[in-house]
Amino acid sequence: MHFKKHTIAMAVLSVSAFGYSANTIAQEEAADETEVIQVSGIRGSLLTALNEKRSADNLVEVIQADDIGKLPDQNLAEVLENVTGIQITRTAGVGTGVQIRGTNANRVEINGVSTVGSGGGRNGIDFEDVSAAIIAGVEVTKSPQAKTIEGSVGGTINLKTIRPLALDDTLASVRVQAENSSLSTESAKPRLSATFGKNWESDLGKFGFVIAGSYIEQEAVSFRPRTDRDSLDNDGNLAIQFLTQEQENDDYETVNIATTLEWAPNENSKFYFDAIINEQEQSRDQYRAQASGVSALKNKDASKPDEYEVVNFGTKGDHSWPDFKAALKGSIGPDASEGFDNPNLRISSETGSRVTDTEVFVFGGEFQAEQFKISAEIATSSSDSVKPKFESTVNFINPKAPLVSRINYERTNGDGEVETGRVEVPFIDGIDSLEDAIASVDGGTSGIIYNDNATPFAYDLSGGTLSFGIDPNSAYTPTKEQLLDPKNYVFEKLEKGGDLQKNSEDSFRIDAEYYIDDSVITSIDVGYRFNKSSSEYTRINGSFSYGDMTRAANGELFKELLVPGPDNFGSADDRELYIKDFLWIDPDRSFSDPQGTVDIIYNALDTHYGSQSSRVNETPQNSSYYLVEEDTNAFYAQANFEYENIRGNFGLRHVSTEVQSSGYVDGVLTPIKGDYSLVLPRINVIADLTDDMVVRFGVGKDIRRPDFDSLKYGYNLNDNENTAVALGNPGLAPEEVQSFDLSWEWYFAEGSVVSVGYFTKLRTDIFGTKTFGAPLHPDPTTDSGTARSNDPSCPGGGFYNPNVVPSLLGNPDVKGLCVDYTQDSNDDVSTMQSGWEFAVQYDLAGFEDKLGWASGFGVMANYTMQEFNGGSIEDCTFSRGADVLGDDVCAERGLEDFSEDAYNFTLYYEKYGLSARMRYTWRDAFTSTDFGGGSSTSSTLSFPVVTSARGQLNASVTYDITEQLNVGVEAVNLTEQGVEQYCVNDGALLCFVGLPDRRVTAGATYKF
């Protein structure tokens, strides 16, 4: 035969966990040369993965399922964390992001077909949208071949489903599980999956069919306290600006179906059709209980801290600072001599949801002749998402403290000059109405009654807890009954929308391989691929808010919507000090019946105001709209070679892309067009030094296209004064990546390996986001003592947002403010990533005679150390960061989500029907813009936060009761390990704490 695999591939054992072999042709050819050994469970999956890695003609990492639909973890991101060089990030404790060799810029495929995600990024399908139950294996390509589709920096992740013609027996399995969150107040959630597959002979040839499906409900809960200490008091100490108690409660309902039909009319040809359909409904019941207006009291004697801590910000760029004293323990509250306006208790609820339908359809075929092989494939991938948003805010009016009015005045001073200004007047000493307050001020002309008043708070930020709550020892402390009484709440804000994101990619490819006899060059691969990609975003969002009692309806008018908030914030770490009792607008009702909820709010506001109140504008916003379309033609040629113990491939890939980005300019949809062409050389060389020792070498070039939302024309505007406006850049060029890989692998025993690898990645035109701050200027009339300009020309810098309703940084009576903004750009300075990867896998099964039951143990461990250098994109101080750290303090940004060191260690046991696995994963500190409490860099002293080093322990145990019935339990984050995020540098000023849940899953699997 002319299409034999090389010697190493021929020696691969047939290892099968569930009657499925991934390399049918190689197995059939090797039938006369090797003994077929069937191994199942953890060992079977590890052997299969190891043999695939060993026989590959480039550097790949492989994970195989232990059993039908049973990868090592329930979440695909968690599965990938088993791979050397991969770290993950989590949202509310659920793995959502994957970094390969320190970068998020990767590709996700299903059976080698490109996928698209739910947002404006390039990586592909979201990991939380795909259940691991329908995936049979995962392959990570770190060193690409010429025929590898372009588009990744770290690597390409290929999710593999079961191929029915490779089944040895009929496949039928059902799994029933239930998952429980340690921080949830709800009951356990179901996880159901089933698989059926078989193949059969007929007069028309051999047919195969498989279908795998899953239905999963999941609840992930995380508590995130936040403390902003980014304001200086008169003594130069770091005072509290803001306190936030946040809960993220994400509910997932996911339906996944993967089905394949294969037909082999004869032994030389095959046709197939794949369909992968995913539907996910993700709803977030999130609340933020906020103490706002705190900074207004920073210089008041009654609210000065009882205890300080010393903070050293370390070094940033060329700058270092002396130690600061920062508020650590104390109380903040109203005082008869200092006013009753601040601090305020504000409750925001948000259903930041996503409903996504993802589909991948593939039709292809292949023909194998004596001298050549040819294949063709047509595929379409799509992802349509609706992102309903319903955010509401209510303010608590403390009945123990008086209301406060803000009175405008105009009067003549002693010099005969007319002066204007504002003063606060509490409702005390005979002042019972706004008219009384105006009359009490010399020259009083008009005013408002604030829709909030003072609530006392106590805080203890020591021990890494960032604990705070309502002060139990103040004369103005409200009772539990008062905190749960609707009449003590008023409506402040409503934001409602339903953003639409439509992404798609249609592709066609044809590949051919020609075999050459008696030559070092064993075959030549050539191929062509065309794909048309598009991403369309439509923003539908509107909001309004009220800052005074004239418009803010009392909670009695919408009390059917007000429900007690969760009271279990202390259950994660047994803290005593937190906000236990409050009302919020029911998030479940807001999600299930948003229009009905809005109607109740409108009726309440109309009744209170006496006429029609504001309405949310739910028309599409032209300023935010974008449509990015791309056509790409790619050609490749690759030569495969083998000479004695040396094998590999070398080739070129030529890529040509035309881009069109459309957005609205002066109300007219306007396109901008661009194009680029690149040649990507790639080489892989493998040396089989001995029967059990392999050395790999790879060099190659790849590109990373800009995210779709980075190429956009449009931008989003909301009403928050601290939210930066993100501007796109249609002129972004693709990033170019030159990679180098060198690795050594020693397969010293069956199912065992030791490997060492070194890699570099030289990146040019790397993407970066620059932040441009809107400066602050002194303003004694605001609560913070500073303000931003409301001049639409923003003379000092910033971006004018006409939708902003100022809170602390301007006059709340005047809508519109200059805010911070960001813009994506190409860095004109190259960057370099380099690192070492170490891995060991050892199985004791070969020592059964000596160890007996202990021969069931095995270990896996890996360690990655890497560094990042170069680049010119900097973060510089602005706003409150400049006030604290000084103007023009700049530092290189580095790479977000990049940890210099990471490792994981897995101990497993498999014997006598018992299968157990325990995995501990650790990663070093990394910078992040995943802020808690709705924050941004304006609240983190101008720099991304640093997430401290963290480890997590996962474990699972299963037992075979019979050959058909298996029961088991799995646990994620067994020790409920928390997250700490610091401002400026690791270990400096603690800004955020994350307290994710422990999730335990129990269930049974039955194989027919």
How does pLDDT run across 527-564, given as a tens digit for each residue? 999 999 999 999 998 888 887 887 789 999 999 999 99
All residues at 6 or more sequence positions from 121 whose CB lies less than 8 Å from its CB, including other chains: 707, 708, 709
Q: State the pLDDT at residue 108.
A: 96
Report how far residue 719's alpha carbon sits from residue 615's, in angstroms, rounded to the nearest whole number.
15
DSSP 621-655: -GGG-EEEEEEEEEEEEEEEEEETTEEEEEEEEEE
Residues in the chain: 1008
pLDDT of residue 39: 53
Helix (H, G, I), strand (E, B) or coil at 499: strand
Task: Give the separation between CA 304 and CA 679, rounded to whole angstroms.
Answer: 64
Measured from the Cβ of residue 1008, the count of other Cβ atoms closer than 10 Å reads 9
**Residues in a beta bridge with 381:** 360, 505
Using the predicted structure, report yes or no on whether residue 402 has a pLDDT greater than 80. yes
Q: Give 933's pLDDT tier (boundaries 50, 70, 90).
A: low
Strand partners, 896: none
Closest CA to 218 of 246, 183, 181: 181
CA–CA separation, 27 and 10 (whole Å): 8
Asked if pLDDT for residue 571 goes beyond 60, the answer is: yes
pLDDT of residue 747: 96
294 Cβ partners below 8 Å, 6+ apart?
240, 241, 242, 243, 332, 342, 343, 457
Confidence of residue 301 (pLDDT cuts 50, 70, 90): confident
Rounded to whole angstroms, the Cα distance separating 39 from 19 reads 10
Please give the Cα distance from 19 to 68 (Å, whole number): 9
| The 137-141 sheet, strands edge to edge | 60-64, 137-141, 156-160, 107-110, 113-114
* pLDDT range class, residue 592, cuts 50, 70, 90: confident
Instruction: Give residues with Cβ within 8 angstroms of 46, minimum separation 6.
Output: 64, 751, 841, 843, 858, 860
- Report pLDDT for 3: 40
Q: What SS3 state is found at 116?
A: coil
Separation CA 95–CA 80 (nearest Å): 10
Look at the domain 42-394+498-541+618-773+820-1007 and name its fold.
Maltoporin; Chain A (2.40.170)
Residues 59-108: tens digit of each pLDDT: 999 998 877 667 778 888 889 999 999 999 988 788 888 999 999 999 99
Residue ranges per structural domain of the chain: 42-394+498-541+618-773+820-1007, 402-453
Give residue 40's pLDDT. 65
Beta bridge partners of 793: none
304: confidence class by pLDDT, cuts 50, 70, 90: very high
- For the stretch 241-295, pLDDT in tens is 989 999 988 899 999 999 999 999 999 999 999 999 999 998 888 899 999 888 8
Q: Which residues contact 564 (CB under 8 A, 6 or more apart)?
A: 484, 581, 582, 583
Least confident of 199-213, 787-801, 835-849: 787-801
pLDDT of residue 769: 78
C-alpha distances in angstroms, 857 versus 63, 615, 845, 974?
19, 65, 7, 21
Q: Are 814 and 789 in contact (CB under 8 A)?
A: no
Q: State phi, psi for 306 to the nearest 5 degrees.
A: -80, -25
Q: What's residue 551's pLDDT?
A: 79
pLDDT confidence tier of residue 372, bands split at 50, 70 and 90: very high
Using only the alpha carbons of the chain, give its radius of gyration: 31
Q: Around Cβ 662, how many Cβ atoms within 10 Å?
A: 20
Residue 894 buriedness (CB in 10 A; 0-12 / 13-18 / 19+): middle
What digits encode the pLDDT tens for the residues 964-999? 999 999 999 999 999 999 999 999 999 999 999 999
pLDDT above 50 for 4: no
Q: What pLDDT does residue 8 have?
A: 36
- Please provide the average confidence, as pLDDT, over all residues in the chain: 90
pLDDT, one tens digit per residue, over 497-514 is: 889 999 999 999 999 999
Asked if pLDDT for residue 13 goes beyond 70, the answer is no
Instruction: State the DSSP string of 288-309.
Output: EEEEESGGGGTT-GGGS-SEEE
**What would the pLDDT profile of 456-474 be if each residue is shown by its tens digit?**
999 999 999 999 999 999 9
**pLDDT at position 298 over 60:** yes
Whether 885 and 984 have beta carbons less than 8 Å apart is answered as yes
Q: Please state the rounded mean pLDDT for residues 297-309.
A: 91
pTM of the model: 0.89
CA distance linking residue 330 with residue 440, whole number of Å: 34
The residue among 732 and 612 whose pLDDT is bigger is 732
| pLDDT tens digits, 662-692 | 988 878 898 999 999 999 999 999 999 999 9
Task: Name 770's Cβ contacts closer than 8 Å, sequence gap at least 6.
Answer: 822, 823, 824, 825, 873
Cβ neighbors of 335 (< 8 A, separation 6 or more) are 300, 302, 303
**Taking the alpha carbons of 984, 985, 991, 993 in that order, is the dihedral positive or negative?**
positive
SS3 sequence of 214-232? EEEEEEEEEEEEEEECCEE
The residues, ordered by sequence, that sit 6+ positions from 558 with a Cβ below 8 Å of its Cβ are 486, 491, 585, 600, 601, 603, 604
How is residue 569 annotated by DSSP?
Answer: G
User: How large is the average pLDDT for residues 351-379?
Assistant: 95
Indicate whether 6 pLDDT > 60. no
Q: Does the pLDDT at position 34 exceed 50?
A: no
Kindly report the three-state secondary structure assignment for every residue of 745-771.
Answer: EEEEECCEEEEEEEEEEEEECCEEEEE
Q: Which of 303, 291, 93, 328 is nearest to 990 (CA)?
A: 328
Q: Tell me the percentage of the chain whose pLDDT exceeds 90.
A: 67
Residue 679, both tokens: 């040649």
List alpha helices for 358-417, DSSP H. Answer: none
- pLDDT band (50, 70, 90) for residue 622: confident
pLDDT at 721 exceeding the cut of 70: yes
User: Which pLDDT belongs to residue 335?
Assistant: 75
What percent of the chain is predicted at pLDDT more than 70?
95
740-755: average pLDDT:
95
pLDDT band at 778 (very low <50, low <70, confident <90, very high): confident
Closest CA to 125 of 505, 538, 513: 505
Task: Show the tokens assigned to 375.
Answer: 């294949």
